[in-house]
Amino acid sequence: MKLARLGEFGKERAAVVLNESEAVFVDDLVGDWDRLGLESGAMERIQQTDLSARHRVKLSDFRLGSPVARPTKVICVGLNYAQHAIETGATLPPEPVIFMKAPDTVVGGFDDIVVPPGSTKTDYEVEICVVIGKRALYLDSPADAREHILGYTISQDISERHWQVERSGQWVKGKSFPTFNPMGPWIVTADSLDPTDLHIWCNVDGEQRQDSRTSDLVFGIDHCVWYISQFMELKAGDVINTGTPQGVGMGFKPEKYIHGGEIVETGIEGIGTIRSKVVNA
Protein backbone atom coordinates (compact mmCIF):
# COMPACT_ATOMS: atom_id res chain seq x y z
CA MET A 1 0.00 0.00 0.00
CA LYS A 2 1.13 3.55 -0.75
CA LEU A 3 0.20 6.38 1.61
CA ALA A 4 0.33 9.94 0.33
CA ARG A 5 -0.76 13.47 1.14
CA LEU A 6 -2.21 15.51 -1.72
CA GLY A 7 -2.89 19.21 -1.99
CA GLU A 8 -1.46 22.68 -1.62
CA PHE A 9 1.17 23.36 1.01
CA GLY A 10 -0.53 23.43 4.40
CA LYS A 11 -3.77 22.03 2.97
CA GLU A 12 -2.71 18.47 2.18
CA ARG A 13 -5.19 15.63 2.61
CA ALA A 14 -4.37 12.04 3.48
CA ALA A 15 -4.75 9.63 0.56
CA VAL A 16 -4.04 6.08 -0.55
CA VAL A 17 -2.46 5.65 -3.97
CA LEU A 18 -4.21 2.94 -5.99
CA ASN A 19 -2.05 2.85 -9.10
CA GLU A 20 0.39 4.99 -11.10
CA SER A 21 -2.22 7.65 -11.83
CA GLU A 22 -5.04 7.42 -9.27
CA ALA A 23 -5.65 7.79 -5.54
CA VAL A 24 -8.52 8.05 -3.08
CA PHE A 25 -8.77 10.52 -0.22
CA VAL A 26 -9.06 8.95 3.24
CA ASP A 27 -8.77 11.98 5.53
CA ASP A 28 -12.34 11.38 6.70
CA LEU A 29 -11.16 8.00 8.03
CA VAL A 30 -7.68 8.77 9.37
CA GLY A 31 -7.44 12.52 9.86
CA ASP A 32 -3.87 12.78 8.59
CA TRP A 33 -0.76 10.67 8.25
CA ASP A 34 0.74 11.95 11.49
CA ARG A 35 1.28 10.85 15.08
CA LEU A 36 -2.30 11.50 16.14
CA GLY A 37 -3.86 9.69 13.21
CA LEU A 38 -1.55 6.69 13.37
CA GLU A 39 -1.87 6.32 17.12
CA SER A 40 -5.66 6.51 16.78
CA GLY A 41 -5.89 3.42 14.55
CA ALA A 42 -5.59 4.94 11.08
CA MET A 43 -4.13 1.84 9.45
CA GLU A 44 -6.69 -0.47 11.06
CA ARG A 45 -9.53 1.65 9.64
CA ILE A 46 -7.95 1.67 6.19
CA GLN A 47 -7.59 -2.10 6.22
CA GLN A 48 -11.26 -2.46 7.12
CA THR A 49 -12.43 -0.16 4.30
CA ASP A 50 -13.24 -1.06 0.71
CA LEU A 51 -11.12 1.59 -0.98
CA SER A 52 -12.27 0.51 -4.46
CA ALA A 53 -15.70 1.93 -3.71
CA ARG A 54 -14.33 5.43 -3.09
CA HIS A 55 -14.19 8.29 -5.56
CA ARG A 56 -10.91 8.26 -7.45
CA VAL A 57 -8.84 11.34 -8.20
CA LYS A 58 -5.94 11.84 -10.60
CA LEU A 59 -2.53 12.23 -9.00
CA SER A 60 -1.60 14.64 -11.77
CA ASP A 61 -4.22 17.10 -10.52
CA PHE A 62 -2.53 17.53 -7.13
CA ARG A 63 0.74 18.49 -5.52
CA LEU A 64 2.34 15.58 -3.67
CA GLY A 65 3.18 16.87 -0.21
CA SER A 66 5.35 15.25 2.41
CA PRO A 67 3.78 11.84 3.10
CA VAL A 68 4.20 12.48 6.83
CA ALA A 69 2.47 15.48 8.40
CA ARG A 70 4.35 17.44 11.06
CA PRO A 71 6.84 14.76 12.15
CA THR A 72 7.85 15.27 15.75
CA LYS A 73 11.35 13.94 15.16
CA VAL A 74 13.68 13.68 12.19
CA ILE A 75 16.50 11.35 13.22
CA CYS A 76 19.48 10.76 10.97
CA VAL A 77 22.14 8.07 10.77
CA GLY A 78 25.51 9.34 9.55
CA LEU A 79 28.35 7.57 7.74
CA ASN A 80 26.20 4.49 7.16
CA TYR A 81 27.55 3.46 3.75
CA ALA A 82 31.17 2.32 3.70
CA GLN A 83 32.14 4.10 0.47
CA HIS A 84 30.58 7.35 1.66
CA ALA A 85 32.68 7.23 4.83
CA ILE A 86 35.77 6.74 2.69
CA GLU A 87 34.97 9.65 0.36
CA THR A 88 34.54 11.99 3.34
CA GLY A 89 37.80 10.85 4.90
CA ALA A 90 36.06 9.33 7.93
CA THR A 91 36.65 5.94 9.49
CA LEU A 92 33.74 3.54 9.76
CA PRO A 93 32.00 4.04 13.10
CA PRO A 94 31.83 1.10 15.53
CA GLU A 95 28.14 1.85 16.11
CA PRO A 96 25.59 4.10 14.37
CA VAL A 97 26.27 7.83 14.34
CA ILE A 98 23.02 9.54 15.34
CA PHE A 99 22.06 13.20 14.94
CA MET A 100 18.87 15.21 14.55
CA LYS A 101 17.61 17.81 12.14
CA ALA A 102 14.74 20.25 12.59
CA PRO A 103 11.36 18.65 11.73
CA ASP A 104 10.33 21.81 9.87
CA THR A 105 12.87 20.92 7.17
CA VAL A 106 10.42 18.32 5.82
CA VAL A 107 8.69 19.32 2.56
CA GLY A 108 7.19 17.45 -0.36
CA GLY A 109 9.37 15.46 -2.71
CA PHE A 110 8.68 17.82 -5.62
CA ASP A 111 9.04 21.07 -3.70
CA ASP A 112 11.98 23.42 -4.23
CA ILE A 113 15.27 23.08 -2.35
CA VAL A 114 16.23 26.57 -1.16
CA VAL A 115 19.94 27.36 -0.91
CA PRO A 116 20.55 29.54 2.19
CA PRO A 117 21.91 33.10 1.77
CA GLY A 118 25.65 33.08 1.17
CA SER A 119 25.92 29.30 0.97
CA THR A 120 28.60 27.87 -1.31
CA LYS A 121 28.50 24.27 -0.06
CA THR A 122 24.91 23.05 -0.19
CA ASP A 123 24.94 19.31 -0.83
CA TYR A 124 22.50 16.51 -1.72
CA GLU A 125 22.17 13.10 0.01
CA VAL A 126 19.69 10.47 -1.15
CA GLU A 127 18.49 8.26 1.72
CA ILE A 128 15.92 5.57 2.34
CA CYS A 129 13.70 6.90 5.10
CA VAL A 130 11.92 4.82 7.73
CA VAL A 131 8.54 6.00 9.01
CA ILE A 132 7.66 4.69 12.44
CA GLY A 133 4.19 3.19 12.80
CA LYS A 134 3.93 2.62 16.54
CA ARG A 135 5.83 3.37 19.73
CA ALA A 136 9.26 1.77 20.06
CA LEU A 137 11.38 2.00 23.19
CA TYR A 138 14.13 -0.29 24.48
CA LEU A 139 13.48 -2.93 21.83
CA ASP A 140 15.08 -6.25 22.73
CA SER A 141 16.74 -6.86 19.37
CA PRO A 142 16.82 -5.70 15.73
CA ALA A 143 14.41 -8.52 14.96
CA ASP A 144 11.74 -6.63 16.92
CA ALA A 145 12.09 -3.46 14.84
CA ARG A 146 10.04 -4.46 11.80
CA GLU A 147 6.72 -4.55 13.65
CA HIS A 148 7.23 -0.90 14.64
CA ILE A 149 7.84 0.33 11.07
CA LEU A 150 4.94 1.79 9.12
CA GLY A 151 6.86 1.91 5.86
CA TYR A 152 9.56 3.49 3.74
CA THR A 153 9.95 6.60 1.62
CA ILE A 154 12.69 8.68 -0.02
CA SER A 155 14.47 11.52 1.75
CA GLN A 156 16.92 14.10 0.48
CA ASP A 157 19.01 14.93 3.55
CA ILE A 158 20.20 18.28 2.19
CA SER A 159 23.27 19.58 4.00
CA GLU A 160 25.21 22.83 4.13
CA ARG A 161 28.75 21.51 4.54
CA HIS A 162 30.36 24.76 5.73
CA TRP A 163 27.97 24.94 8.67
CA GLN A 164 27.99 21.17 9.19
CA VAL A 165 31.73 20.52 9.07
CA GLU A 166 33.81 23.69 9.10
CA ARG A 167 32.02 25.62 11.83
CA SER A 168 32.38 24.28 15.35
CA GLY A 169 29.46 22.48 16.96
CA GLN A 170 27.03 19.73 16.04
CA TRP A 171 25.97 18.70 12.53
CA VAL A 172 22.41 19.91 13.18
CA LYS A 173 23.46 23.44 12.16
CA GLY A 174 24.19 22.36 8.61
CA LYS A 175 21.10 20.20 8.36
CA SER A 176 18.22 22.35 9.56
CA PHE A 177 17.68 25.10 7.01
CA PRO A 178 14.14 25.34 5.58
CA THR A 179 13.37 22.82 2.78
CA PHE A 180 16.42 20.69 3.69
CA ASN A 181 14.42 17.44 3.79
CA PRO A 182 12.31 16.83 0.67
CA MET A 183 10.43 13.57 1.22
CA GLY A 184 8.20 11.40 -0.91
CA PRO A 185 6.56 10.69 -3.16
CA TRP A 186 4.65 8.42 -0.74
CA ILE A 187 5.15 5.86 2.01
CA VAL A 188 5.32 2.27 0.81
CA THR A 189 4.03 0.23 3.73
CA ALA A 190 6.36 -2.30 5.31
CA ASP A 191 4.22 -5.26 4.24
CA SER A 192 4.73 -4.26 0.60
CA LEU A 193 8.49 -3.77 0.43
CA ASP A 194 11.68 -5.54 1.47
CA PRO A 195 14.19 -2.68 1.97
CA THR A 196 17.33 -4.78 2.32
CA ASP A 197 18.64 -4.65 -1.28
CA LEU A 198 17.16 -1.78 -3.30
CA HIS A 199 18.79 0.35 -5.98
CA ILE A 200 19.27 3.89 -4.64
CA TRP A 201 20.43 6.81 -6.78
CA CYS A 202 20.58 10.58 -7.27
CA ASN A 203 21.07 12.68 -10.42
CA VAL A 204 21.87 16.38 -10.67
CA ASP A 205 20.90 17.95 -14.01
CA GLY A 206 20.83 14.47 -15.52
CA GLU A 207 24.32 13.54 -14.34
CA GLN A 208 24.32 10.48 -12.12
CA ARG A 209 26.07 11.36 -8.88
CA GLN A 210 24.99 8.61 -6.47
CA ASP A 211 24.42 4.98 -7.45
CA SER A 212 24.33 2.21 -4.86
CA ARG A 213 22.17 -0.38 -3.14
CA THR A 214 20.69 -0.47 0.34
CA SER A 215 22.51 -3.77 0.90
CA ASP A 216 25.65 -1.64 1.29
CA LEU A 217 24.37 -0.10 4.52
CA VAL A 218 26.90 -0.57 7.31
CA PHE A 219 24.10 -0.87 9.87
CA GLY A 220 20.87 -2.26 8.46
CA ILE A 221 17.49 -0.58 8.85
CA ASP A 222 16.22 -2.90 11.58
CA HIS A 223 19.48 -2.46 13.49
CA CYS A 224 19.16 1.33 13.30
CA VAL A 225 15.59 1.33 14.60
CA TRP A 226 16.53 -1.01 17.47
CA TYR A 227 19.64 1.04 18.28
CA ILE A 228 17.85 4.40 18.30
CA SER A 229 15.12 2.95 20.53
CA GLN A 230 17.74 2.40 23.22
CA PHE A 231 18.27 6.17 23.53
CA MET A 232 14.95 7.79 22.71
CA GLU A 233 11.28 6.94 22.49
CA LEU A 234 10.19 6.54 18.90
CA LYS A 235 6.61 7.56 18.18
CA ALA A 236 4.25 7.00 15.26
CA GLY A 237 5.07 9.42 12.47
CA ASP A 238 8.72 9.87 13.46
CA VAL A 239 11.10 9.57 10.53
CA ILE A 240 14.61 8.13 10.36
CA ASN A 241 16.98 8.98 7.53
CA THR A 242 19.24 5.94 7.37
CA GLY A 243 22.32 7.35 5.64
CA THR A 244 23.54 8.19 2.15
CA PRO A 245 25.85 6.33 -0.25
CA GLN A 246 28.94 7.68 -1.98
CA GLY A 247 28.73 10.36 -4.65
CA VAL A 248 27.75 13.42 -2.61
CA GLY A 249 29.02 16.78 -3.80
CA MET A 250 31.73 17.08 -1.15
CA GLY A 251 33.19 13.74 -2.26
CA PHE A 252 34.21 14.95 -5.71
CA LYS A 253 37.53 16.59 -6.58
CA PRO A 254 36.77 19.35 -7.30
CA GLU A 255 33.61 19.40 -5.16
CA LYS A 256 30.22 19.49 -6.90
CA TYR A 257 27.76 21.42 -4.77
CA ILE A 258 24.35 22.76 -5.76
CA HIS A 259 24.09 26.55 -6.01
CA GLY A 260 20.72 27.30 -7.63
CA GLY A 261 19.08 26.41 -10.92
CA GLU A 262 19.84 22.69 -10.81
CA ILE A 263 17.33 19.84 -10.87
CA VAL A 264 17.95 17.14 -8.27
CA GLU A 265 16.24 13.85 -9.10
CA THR A 266 16.27 11.03 -6.60
CA GLY A 267 15.00 7.47 -6.74
CA ILE A 268 14.79 4.22 -4.84
CA GLU A 269 13.72 0.95 -6.40
CA GLY A 270 10.27 -0.11 -5.26
CA ILE A 271 9.38 3.34 -3.93
CA GLY A 272 9.62 5.78 -6.82
CA THR A 273 11.24 9.08 -7.73
CA ILE A 274 11.23 12.61 -6.34
CA ARG A 275 12.44 15.72 -8.15
CA SER A 276 13.29 19.18 -6.81
CA LYS A 277 14.43 22.41 -8.39
CA VAL A 278 17.22 24.18 -6.54
CA VAL A 279 16.53 27.88 -5.97
CA ASN A 280 18.21 30.67 -4.04
CA ALA A 281 16.75 32.16 -0.88
Q: Nearest CA to 81 among 247, 244, 250, 268?
A: 244
Q: Can you tell me the distance from the alpha carbon of 217 to that of 254, in angstroms, rounded to the nearest whole number?
A: 26
Residue pair 279/182 in contact (Cβ under 8 Å)? The answer is no
pLDDT band at 186 (very low <50, low <70, confident <90, very high): very high
Residue pair 224/77 in contact (Cβ under 8 Å)? The answer is yes
Chain-centre distance for alpha carbon 163: 21
pLDDT of 111-137, one tens digit each?
999 999 999 999 999 999 999 999 999
Over residues 91-95, the mean pLDDT reads 88
**Per-domain boundaries in the chain:** 2-61, 74-280
Residue pair 97/88 in contact (Cβ under 8 Å)? The answer is no
Provide the whole-model pTM.
0.95
DSSP 3-state assignment of 275?
A: strand
Please state, rounded to an integer, the average pLDDT across all residues of the chain.
96
Q: Can you tell me the distance from the alpha carbon of 233 to that of 256, in angstroms, rounded to the nearest whole number?
A: 37
pLDDT at 264: 98
The listed CATH number (3.40.50.2300, 3.90.850.10, 3.40.50.1400, 2.170.190.11) that belongs to domain 74-280: 3.90.850.10
pLDDT band at 48 (very low <50, low <70, confident <90, very high): very high
Residue 183, CA atoms < 13 Å, CB-side half-sphere: 30
Q: Can you tell me the distance from the alpha carbon of 184 to that of 107, in angstroms, rounded to the nearest whole number?
A: 9
Residue 55: how many other CB atoms lie within 10 Å: 6
Over residues 248-271, the mean pLDDT reads 97
pLDDT of 33-46, one tens digit each?
999 999 999 999 99
